[in-house]
Amino acid sequence: MPIYFGLCIRLFAGIVELKPCFYPTLAMSEIDPATVKAYLETDYCIAAPEPFVLRVGTASVPLASLYREHRTGCCVFVTACNPYSRLVGEQENAERQAELARELNRLGLTFFDGVGRHPAGGWPAEPGSLVLGLSLAAAKALGEKHRQNAIVWCGPGGTPELILLR
């Protein structure tokens, strides 16, 4: 995938800000804007010992606690289901997600199961994984390998960002 440079819009604590970025922006993306909007609205439910929900643009206190507990400062929520947001069967999604889990285990990464669930319920909930300690570059590579349109990455501040991959 080519490297892009542009200004990205980021929602942070209810404030919209522009920042430089080196990944596709919405204007450059192949992804339907309605699909991007759905990603932004989705609740990313994490089955950690103390379950919590991530929302793009909203800092997460439980995530900050998880960071401290695991001595890390970044993570990604990623799924292997429904490549490029094209619905596939339940069986194929289960196989794809199991392969992702095997890969994360082989790499020795700490991860928690989760599910991405849109509040309107117009798209089936998708299993995913919150993977601790992945840099943005590694997180993007993982999402691209599993044919995803986007990932939800969280840096040191614990605020989830939607990162478009196409």
Per-residue pLDDT tens over the stretch 67-124: 999 999 999 999 999 999 999 999 999 999 999 999 999 999 999 999 999 999 888 9
Cα angle at 128 between 38 and 53, to 5 degrees?
65
Do 156 and 61 touch, CB atoms closer than 8 A?
no
Do 142 and 133 touch, CB atoms closer than 8 A?
no
Amino acid (1-letter code) at residue 107: L
Residue in 104, 108, 105 with CA at minimum distance from that of residue 77: 104
pLDDT of residue 87: 95
DSSP conformational letter for 55: B
CA distances from 32 to 25, 29, 122 (A): 12, 8, 16
Per-residue pLDDT tens over the stretch 112-157: 999 999 999 888 999 999 999 999 999 999 999 999 999 999 999 9
- Domain ranges in the chain? 6-164
Per-residue pLDDT tens over the stretch 27-65: 567 898 999 999 999 999 999 999 999 999 999 999 999
**Rounded distance between C-alpha atoms, residue 64 and residue 59, angstroms:** 9
Whether 6 has a pLDDT exceeding 60, the answer reads no
